[in-house]
Structure 1
Amino acid sequence: MDNNKLIEYLETFGALTSKDKLCLIDNVEFKAYKAGDVFLHTGKIANQVGFIIEGVFRYFFYDGQGNEITSYFMSENQFVTNITSFNEYTFSSGTIAAETDCLVLIIDRKGWELFAEQIENWNSIISKITSKTLLEKTNFQRRLINQDAKASYLSLLEQNPSIINRVPQTHIASFLGITKFSLSRIRNQIANK
């Protein structure tokens, strides 16, 4: 397994020199997660960032009634962490767990700080990635608020088709803010068209 996917992804946001690439390669490590493994527990401080090579992670929390609420999915060519917890050394308000078997490139805090020091475009690249991710998440959630359940499901299907068939339907329903029964009905309507 090589580190090219991470380097290719980063280079879509800014230039990296040969020296930058070597620095990256020397300071990341591969880690495999089985479905159900936890990347970050609620109440812990995020001390690493992962770049997903294969698989899907889910960020979730519990509401006041103890219901599990899915807030976000992360899949291939995306970073996985709680960015607020990582940047501000605060406790994570949610848990990140592997939905499928996953292969991830791990960057620990020491490596991240090294990249910020030694890779000239690092902060600019990460800032662009963070802005893009937040904008996509905000726009998607805004659409969910303004759509009925069927339209929300179709939006998710359009934006993240690979996720739909890889994660439990209860988690999809939780993410869309609907019941599993409603999701099943919507899927049947779409399939029978």
Structure 2
Amino acid sequence: MKAFIDYILQFGDLNQQQIDLITKKAKILELPKEEYFSEAGKIAQQVGFVLEGVIRVCYYNNKGEEITKYFIDENNLVVDLESFNNDICSNAYVQAVTDCKLLVFSKKDWKELLDIIIPWQAIVNKIVSRVLIQKVERRSPLVSEDATTRYLMFLKIYPNVVNRVPLSYIASYLGITQSSLSRIRKNIR
């Protein structure tokens, strides 16, 4: 819980009473490897904070190929925001890549916190804004670079992920084949 409180306090101030209320609403969720936090075709019902483990967001393209959009590791929020906020079916899967431990808030409890704690909305907006900027910063350079450069950027962006997830997921994220990724890894050692 301390990791989550430290995380949110980077984005705004809360008094002890507000922190206690947030703490009461949080539940621990053990999410086994390969289980889904939320699924395509369903409405996201919870917001999570990764305490331990790695989660990935993926989808299937029109050829039926699984594409990894990004990874989420410790001390980061996880939610399909568009689905959660707008009550619409998600188009992505949010899946545990490793065994994960999360702090979870139900939609009802999250909305209650927004209604009761006045600075909560501003804190959430700052977090969302930062996450969206990070997403763009992480994806944009990958579009124009060669595969080796993309892999080296991946190592910088996700230093705590590379040895914890299957190479097939990294290759999918980078938009290359697994054999190309193996060649690149062999050449840069």
SS in 1 for 2:91: coil
Alignment of 1:30-109 (within 5 A): 30-109=28-107
**Structure 2 residue 125 is matched with structure 1 residue 127:** yes
CA distance in 1, matches of 2:177, 2:146: 13
Equivalents in 2 of 1:149, 1:26: separation in Å? 46
- Note the C-alpha offset of 1:114: 1.4
Partner of 2:16: 18
Between the aligned partners of 2:130 and 2:145, the Cα distance in structure 1 is 23
The TM-score with structure 2 as length reference comes to 0.98
Query: Partner residue of 1:118?
Result: 116
Residue 166 of structure 2 corresponds to which residue in structure 1? Answer: 168
Report SS of the residue matched to 1:85: helix
Structure 1 residue ranges (4+ consecutive) displaced by more than 6 angstroms after TM superposition: none
Give the root-mean-square deviation of aligned CA atoms: 0.7
Q: C-alpha offsets along residues 155-174 of structure 1, whole Å, 9 cap, x if unaligned? A: 11011111111000000000
Quote the offset at 1:81 in angstroms.
1.4
1:137-179: per-residue Cα shift (whole Å, max 9, x none)? Answer: 1111110012111111111101111111100000000000000
Letter in 2 for 1:130: V
Say which SS state the counterpart of residue 116 (structure 1) adopts. Answer: helix
Q: Distance in 1 between matches of 2:37 and 2:160?
A: 21
How many angstroms apart in 1 are the aligned matches of 2:149 and 2:134?
Answer: 17
Kindly state the Cα deviation for residue 118 of structure 1 after the two structures are TM-superposed.
Answer: 1.7
Distance in 2 (CA, whole Å) between partners of 1:109 and 1:140 is 28
Aligned length: 189
Identity, % of aligned positions: 38
Unaligned runs of 5+ in 2: none
The equivalent residue for 1:142 is 140
Letter in 2 for 1:53: L
d(CA) in 1 for partners of 2:118, 2:162 = 38
Cα deviation for residue 21 of structure 1 reads 0.6
Aligned residue number for residue 183 of structure 2: 185
